[in-house]
């Protein structure tokens, strides 16, 4: 009998673990509905399994089913109120619901969002994501409902103590929103100096674009491409050149390099590079070449509205 019970419980545990591993695999492959079905079925016989509840919440979240995700994460915070990650996920799902709701409805949610993030940060002094969430929350909220750049900087400082690169990026973000471009640029550059990742270069590039400084954006991307050897940066250079009608020959060359070296890991489909080339040839008043490239873009991705709009613009040359 003892041997039978041991075999029974071992088999049950293996089946349970296998089901959760399946769900994790589905999520990794972006098959979120399959992960949802797997965990719904599993939880019918194992309703107290916190790992499964969390996976179900994650599956709902990836599908933007915010109410369903909130329900799962709230259950977890009730079962284990001192778990920082559960509080963070609960706050995140609430925050996403607020963003997709009317302003009046969002106002009723923001307090719970803030409470969950603050609790996550309090429970885990090393929780980087919770502190990033608080930085973004305090920056984005109007002062009348709790927004505060000084509080955002407080959590940016905490981030800097945990990770210099995160702290510098957070400070750049705060100062950018506070309309202090010199300080924002300073901290984004410090993030590149310390971290030097693709994200660091992207943040400084986006900042320069927001400041309407395409030449600086291009120089920053060129530096990043030389250092990191990322083909995707060739596309980004071409995009800035096309968007701002600057350094067109450089943009054309970079886009063609991007296309010749393109692989799925580059992220941006080739059709978008075709579109950027069409923009560049439009700026050069070369209607024939512009139409050639925009037709290639439309042929590959016929449902993209901006491609068709660009063809209409080119046709008027």
Predicted confidence (pLDDT) per residue in 237-288, tens digit: 999 999 999 999 999 999 999 999 999 899 999 999 999 999 999 999 999 9
Residue 18 — very low, low, confident or very high, per pLDDT cuts 50/70/90? Answer: confident
pLDDT digits (tens, 9 = 90+) for 105-132: 878 888 999 999 999 999 999 999 999 9
Q: What is the pLDDT of residue 145?
A: 57
Residue 9 — very low, low, confident or very high, per pLDDT cuts 50/70/90? Answer: very low
Residue 4: burial class (beta carbons within 10 Å; 0-12, 13-18, 19+): exposed
Q: What is the pLDDT of residue 105?
A: 84
Query: Contact 146/139 with Cβ under 8 angstroms?
Result: no
Q: What are phi and psi of 35, to 5 degrees?
A: -65, -40
Residue 228 — very low, low, confident or very high, per pLDDT cuts 50/70/90? Answer: very high
Q: pLDDT over 70 for what percent of the chain?
A: 93
Residues 184-204, mean pLDDT to the nearest whole number: 97
Q: What is the pLDDT of residue 106?
A: 79
Q: What is the pLDDT of residue 4?
A: 44
Q: What is the pLDDT of residue 296?
A: 97
How far is C-alpha 134 from the chain's CA centre? 16
**DSSP conformation letters of the chain:** -HHHHHHHHHHHHHHHHHHHHHHHHHHHTT-HHHHHHHHHHHHHH-TT-HHHHHHHHHHHHHTT-HHHHHHHHHHHHHH-TT-HHHHHHHHHHHHHHHHTS-HHHHHHHHHHHHHHHHHHHHH-TT-HHHHHHHHHHHHHS-GGGT--HHHHHHHHHHHHHH-HHHHHHHHHHHHHHTT-HHHHHHHHHHHHHHT--HHHHHHHHHHHHHTT-HHHHHHHHHHHHHHH--THHHHHHHHHHHHHT-SHHHHHHHHHHHHHT--GGG-S-HHHHHHHHHHHHHHTT-HHHHHHHHHHHHHH-TT-HHHHHHHHHHHT-
Q: What is the pLDDT of residue 99?
A: 82
Half-sphere exposure (Cβ direction) of 157: Cα atoms closer than 13 Å: 6
Q: What is the pLDDT of residue 10?
A: 39
**What rounded mean pLDDT belongs to the chain?**
91
pTM reported for the whole predicted model = 0.83
* pLDDT at residue 209 tops 50: yes
Domains of the chain: 31-124 (1.25.40.10)
Nearest-angstrom CA–CA distance, 158 and 118: 13
* pLDDT at residue 94 tops 50: yes
Residues 63-68, mean pLDDT to the nearest whole number: 94
Residues 59-85, mean pLDDT to the nearest whole number: 95
């Amino acid at each position: 009998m003892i041997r039978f019970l041991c075999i029974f419980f071992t088999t049950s545990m293996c089946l349970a673990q296998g089901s959760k591993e399946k769900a994790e695999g589905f999520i990794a492959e972006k098959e979120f509905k399959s992960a949802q079905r797997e965990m719904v079925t599993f939880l019918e016989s194992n309703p107290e399994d916190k790992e499964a509840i969390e996976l179900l919440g994650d599956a709902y979240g990836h599908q933007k089913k915010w109410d369903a995700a909130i329900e799962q994460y709230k259950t977890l915070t009730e079962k284990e109120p001192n778990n920082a990650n559960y509080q963070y996920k609960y706050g995140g799902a609430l925050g996403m619901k607020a963003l997709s709701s009317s302003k009046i409805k969002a106002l009723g949610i923001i307090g719970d969002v803030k409470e969950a993030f603050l609790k996550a940060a309090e429970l885990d002094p090393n929780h980087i994501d919770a502190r990033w969430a608080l930085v973004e929350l305090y920056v984005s909220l109007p002062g009348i409902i709790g927004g505060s750049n000084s509080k955002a900087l407080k959590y940016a400082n905490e981030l800097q103590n945990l990770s210099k690169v995160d702290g510098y990026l957070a400070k750049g973000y705060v100062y950018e929103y506070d309309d202090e471009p010199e300080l924002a640029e300073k901290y984004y550059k410090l993030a590149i100096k310390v971290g030097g990742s693709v994200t660091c270069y992207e943040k400084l590039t986006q900042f320069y674009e927001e400041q309407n400084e395409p030449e600086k954006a291009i120089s920053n991307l060129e530096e990043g491409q030389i250092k990191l050897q990322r083909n995707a940066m060739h596309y980004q250079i071409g995009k800035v050149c096309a968007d701002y009608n600057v350094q067109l020959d450089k943009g054309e060359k970079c886009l063609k390099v991007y296309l010749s070296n393109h692989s799925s890991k580059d992220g941006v489909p080739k059709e978008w590079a075709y579109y950027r080339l069409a923009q560049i040839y439009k700026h050069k008043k070369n209607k024939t070449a512009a139409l050639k490239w925009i037709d290639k873009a439309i042929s590959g991705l016929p449902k993209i509205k901006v491609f068709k709009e660009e063809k209409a613009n080119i046709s008027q040359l």
